[in-house]
Chain A
Amino acid sequence: MEFFQKMRGAGQCPPRVRRSEIVSSFLGSLAGMGLLGLLHYNVADPADRVLLVGSFAASAVLLFAAPKSPLAQPRNLLGGHVLSAIIGVTVRLALPDMPWLAGALATALAIAAMHMTRTLHPPGAATAFIAVTGGPKIIALGYLYVLCPALAGPLLLLCVALATNALTPGRRYPEYWW
């Protein structure tokens, strides 16, 4: 019965943040994703490059809404995305005929690798997954995917997060760099 006991959830949901926090998180993520979007549609896309992938929206949650989290620190942001991108592209190249397994394996390997290197960043697993399932445009990039978008995107987000969090009273980012 312990099996079911464990599912009961004896904990408590943390409190809601104050309204100013919500506004800051909204504005910060709008600026960060806005910059990526602008550059993607005006610069990268016309050159058949990709700067915007879904996993960056998840990074925005951490950078702009939970900047104190260890998961949101530069080491995790950059390390997590780059490491996972390498794993994602490698797994896709190694298992071209088994997309169902490649997606799962890329995700799982990325999680393990981020854990091992202390760069755990949840959106990184999405970056690895997207390397496998992201469609022809992503696949055409090959290992270039690691540099752009997987390194360039988070770098831009990082710059915006540094600026917006520094401009916000009561916030400080990062907690540590590496």
Chain B
Amino acid sequence: MRDDAAAPADPTCDVPLTEVEIQDIFTAMSQSEGYLDITPGDALALYRLAYRHASARVGRERTVGTVMTSPAHTASPELPGPELARLMASLGVSGLPVLENDTLVGVVSIKDFLPSLGLPRQATPMALVAALLEGGLPSANLARLTTRDLMTAPALSVPPSCPVAEAAELMDRRRINRLPVVDGGRLVGIITRDDIVRAWRPEAAPE
């Protein structure tokens, strides 16, 4: 069991709730009215177990639809590669769903550009910087490609009713950073790793 796992913080005190230690339990027990027949260690163990259940429940119960970014920016499959790069740069995004006639046909992200620039798919942004320093990148290839050539297809997607925890699990397993949210065949938004991090902040918790 890991106690140092990322946990939402209590907004009132800026201390992650899993940081509660036995001396805190002891102090709380001293303040409580009357005698509690539980040892501080058991109370702490119970607290941590309950906290883990609560985290799991909150993750299970929150749905993608409540935390996604909507509406999502999109790209057309006919868009030339360089145009797509400029579009993504101006939007400040690292990935876009690709729509053709209102139907999701793929997802494009930085990773999809890398092979056309002579870099491996899993290259990091720093590898890109390093390649630039060594005398630029072969971009002629990219100019001949369209979004359709670049994109990853078919795209994985989730419905708005999908629990956040499941979306997180899917992203982790497939090593992707975003998932288009599709409802009845129509793109209704996008959920990114950022959205999931935001969903875990306690002030974003559902009523």
Contact = CB atoms under 8 A, between A and B. Distances in A.
Interface of A: 10-15, 17, 21, 65-69, 71, 170-171
Given A12-B22, A12-B26, A17 B37 contact: no
Contacts of B34: 17, 21, 66-68, 170-171
Contacts of A12: 22, 26, 39-41
Contacts of A171: 33-34
Given A11-B42, A12-B22, A68-B35, 17 more contacts: A10-B41, A11-B39, A12-B26, A14-B38, A14-B39, A15-B26, A15-B29, A17-B34, A17-B35, A21-B34, A21-B35, A65-B35, A66-B34, A66-B35, A68-B37, A69-B37, A170-B34
Contact of A66 (B26, B37, B40, B41): B37
15 contacts: A11-B41, A11-B42, A12-B40, A14-B38, A15-B26, A15-B29, A17-B34, A17-B35, A21-B33, A66-B34, A67-B34, A68-B34, A68-B36, A69-B37, A170-B34
A15 B30 CA distance: 6
B93 to A, nearest CB: 51
A159 to B, nearest CB: 20
A14 to B, nearest CB: 6
Interface residues on B, range: 10 to 19
Nearest to A65: B35
Interface in B34-57: 34-42
Contacts of A69: 35, 37
A14 B33 contact: no
A65 B34 CA distance: 8
Nearest to A10: B41
Contacts of B40: 11-12, 14
Contacts of B37: 66, 68-69, 71
B37 to A, nearest CB: 5
A152 to B, nearest CB: 26
Contacts of A68: 34-37
A47 to B, nearest CB: 37
Interface in B5-24: 22
Nearest to A173: B34
Nearest to B41: A11
